[in-house]
Structure 1
């Protein structure tokens, strides 16, 4: 006789308990592996790391000290999966490759898809590349060298050569039999590409559709002819846009003659989108590449140039302040209050700038809607300027007991926030128009404009009305 479970008010108690740390590695694991390596217990370190996913093992390697990484690799020995390299930071990847035997790299590369193999090799220095390629069989070396000959950020670099291309005369049954018998298919694929006698793609069939169609049906009867092909020299950012725009999971790559030479899959595009977003974020801060794992000297050199540029922009703002030296000597309160105007303008401009740069990168902002965007940002700057003008004016008035200073900082606040909004919108649009990456140069120009205008408006109005 079945029994009905008792009624409970807490319905959530019937749900399965979710562990807080389902993914990733814990600090305890990193500490345990580090202690095992320091104590010479390599077998224990190997047991702790051997069952980790490739991505988690990469995180573990990055978390260890520089001298501990080769020890862990030595402990893992032949169990070290080369796919781990695809998840590593570039600087750490070079260290790991140096610790690996070329023969192990060569044998492991043969087990990877061509796009993953290229991803591993392309970021190595020239000496490491030659050492790895020399250890490969000639046929595989030629394929990788051809992929490396394409531009660095092109579709030719990120495509995988392993794909399923079948003649237009085949049936579903023939294709299924071929897939079962072939040993050269990629580990994961989503679409079957239909090619004509010139090996040019004429359509595709999703794998799921082929598997639920009867064997005698021709592939041409169920194929999609609306296919987005990727030219082999297309920039990877353009590839990501095509995938995002049309909701693709894979797309064929064609050479200059239109022949099918490879395929790009959505997992590659996810990496591209991540890389491009990271690149834009770093450029906005004046950093060329992530340097979390780089040496102190390398990081210092990489940041010096950008800081030097910012020094000159700061000098420009200081020149404006020097023009009103007499005013500052007579009214000391101005020196206390003037950073407020410049800071508010800089922050407001950065907000607009960030939205504009992101919209340009996503192709949501262009000549068609630029005027509307600029107009909206000016209105936002004006409204915010008026509201903060009241706040800043009252504070300055109460602080120094001078109504005139309150009115001047209020007027300067409105002017600078409007100019900041206008600059934050126009600077990236203008740079994009002349072919300069807005993510690289926009912040320098914006900072200079908001500082110069902020100081000039505030001190200029003070000079005009107080002296």
Structure 2
């Protein structure tokens, strides 16, 4: 066996590598973000025709940082920079890139170039590049791929978007139960076609159904003559191929998985999902729910303006319609407001506090539904809990608002009216914030999409109705 020293570079090369590492660290700030000066410098080099200097500086970056660099550039600068970098714009860089930026760069490449890039990636990353292409462009890329790669991509595209079938890798290691640990080690060393990134192998029966898993650390520490079936762990978490990626992420989180087998409807092993893929899913789904609550669409600063406009304006139009309900209630009490102008000054306070209370409850409820913490078995308990919290919050805010109003306007009656309205509206906000998303979830509708509009309409309308109605009923003013 060769000595370890034979694999070490000369001392001067080690010093050079360390220097390169230190230099690459200066391109990033303390939060691992590219420094603005670095972005400006490499762009200036590219525009000045000093391509080798630009490539030398960018070449020290990690593929994820190169992807970030492209995202920081303007739409006009990206094509130039892509031509300057050449092969530095590698498959790994494209896999890390924002989808809107990646689409723009992919459009600049010939189908043969896209096919070559996709062939070098794991199936899940290749699918992420190809799935958003136009149908004719997608077909051209698939035709340019090797038959084996094309079959894997086409199979992945046959599954629904955001499903385990789209997310999984088709490159995995599976062995029969009767082989020995030595047989497994020999295969891992000799088979050059095996995937290089995995943490465990899957043990399958003659029908290719997974019966267990074995971590690499167990294999390395077990004598060669022991059967792999005696080492493997039979308990495993299997992922159905059509499971939604959000459910996949929840299983990884719940059972602390590093990787998991994906099975088809017949229970046969067809792929695996690893934790690095799930991290991206968790990030996407969490951000997606927050943005849906606000009606902001994808919320991606690299998204084309037309798509962002289309996503946002329809929710603003819907919000305009629901706002008419609240304005109608105000119009009904127009005479009362004319007789007592103080009502107009206090109305926004009632509606605003109620809206915030509803948003708090709504955010907690949507998150609980997304995390499977809120189900049929505990939904009523959640409703009662929010009702109690709403009463406590309402009582506290009512005491503060009522006292301040009575002192400011020297009108105890008006203070009592706003206090009562606060209690009513915050209570209604709490109930609406939990009941509306639960109702939408029971209808198999995404509670993050439309809940906020209905909750806002409810709190505004009930706030105005309670405040103005109590003012009239108490005799403070009249219609």
TM-score, reference length from structure 2: 0.91
Counterpart pick for 1:304 among 300, 309, 313:
313
Residue aligned with 1:31, SS: helix
1:5 maps to which residue? none
Offset at residue 38 of structure 1 (A):
3.0
Structure 1: any 5+ residue segments left out of the alignment?
1-17
Q: Aligned-pair RMSD on alpha carbons?
A: 1.6
Paired position in structure 2 for 1:264? 273
Report deviation, 1:22: 6.4
Matched, 1:226 2:235: yes
What is aligned with 1:345? 354
Determine the C-alpha separation between the residues in 2 that align with 1:443 and 1:44.
51
Q: Distance in 1 between matches of 2:136 and 2:327?
A: 48
Deviation sequence 1:142-178 (CA, Å, 0-9, x none): 2111111111121111111111001111100000000
Indicate the residue corresponding to 2:433 in structure 1. Answer: 424
Q: 2-side partners of 1:128 and 1:399: how far apart?
A: 68
- Residue correspondence of structure 1 range 24-423 to structure 2 within 5 A: 24-423=33-432
1:463 and 2:467 aligned:
no
Q: Is the 8 A contact 2:386 2:430 kept in 1?
A: yes
**8 A contact 2:355–2:460 mirrored in 1:** yes
CA contact (8 A) 1:166 1:175 kept: yes
For 1:224 and 1:345, the matched residues in 2 are separated by 53
**Mean Cα displacement is larger for which, 291-300 or 376-385?**
291-300
Which deviates further from its counterpart, 365-374 or 219-228?
365-374
**Offset, 1:457:** 0.3
On the 8 A contact 1:73/1:99 being kept in 2, the answer is: no
Structure 1 Cα separation of the partners of residues 79 and 385 of structure 2:
56
2:18 aligns with none
- Matched residue SS, 2:271: strand
Shift of 1:331: 0.5
Deviation at 1:99, TM superposition (A): 2.3
The offset of 1:24, in angstroms, is: 3.0
Say how many residue pairs are matched. 450
Residues 338 and 458 in structure 1, CA contact (< 8 A), matched pair in contact too: yes
Q: Which structure 2 segments of 5+ residues have no match?
A: 1-24
Q: How far does residue 123 in structure 1 lie from its aligned partner after superposition?
A: 2.4
Contact 1:25 1:56 in 2 (8 A): yes
Specify whether residues 458 and 22 from structure 1 end up closer, same or farther in structure 2 by C-alpha distance, changes over 3 A only.
closer
Partner SS state of residue 194, structure 1 = strand
In structure 2, how many angstroms separate the alpha carbons of the residues matched to 1:294 and 1:175? 47
Q: 1:436 aligns with which of 420, 428, 445?
A: 445
1:12 corresponds to: none
Task: Tell me, yes or no, if the aligned pair for 1:46 and 1:72 is still in contact at 8 Å.
Answer: no
Between 345-354 and 290-299, the greater mean CA deviation after superposition? 290-299
Aligned partners of 2:280 and 2:306: how far apart in 1? 29
TM-score by length of 1: 0.93
SS of residue matched to 1:99: coil
Deviates more, 1:31-40 or 1:241-250: 31-40
Secondary structure at 2:107 match in 1: helix
Give yes or no for contact 1:78–1:104 (8 Å, CA) kept in 2.
Answer: no
Q: Does structure 2 retain, via aligned residues, the 8 Å contact 1:284–1:439?
A: yes
Contact 1:287 1:303 in 2 (8 A): yes
Which region of structure 1 is more displaced relative to structure 2, 104-113 or 71-80? 104-113
In the superposition, relative to structure 1, how do residues 294 and 238 fare at CA in structure 2: closer, same or farther (>3 Å)? closer
Shift of 1:424: 0.8
The residue aligned with 1:14 is none
Corresponding residue number in structure 2 for 1:11 = none
Cα deviation digits, residues 78-120 of structure 1 (max 9, x gap): 2321122222222111111122343333223222211111122
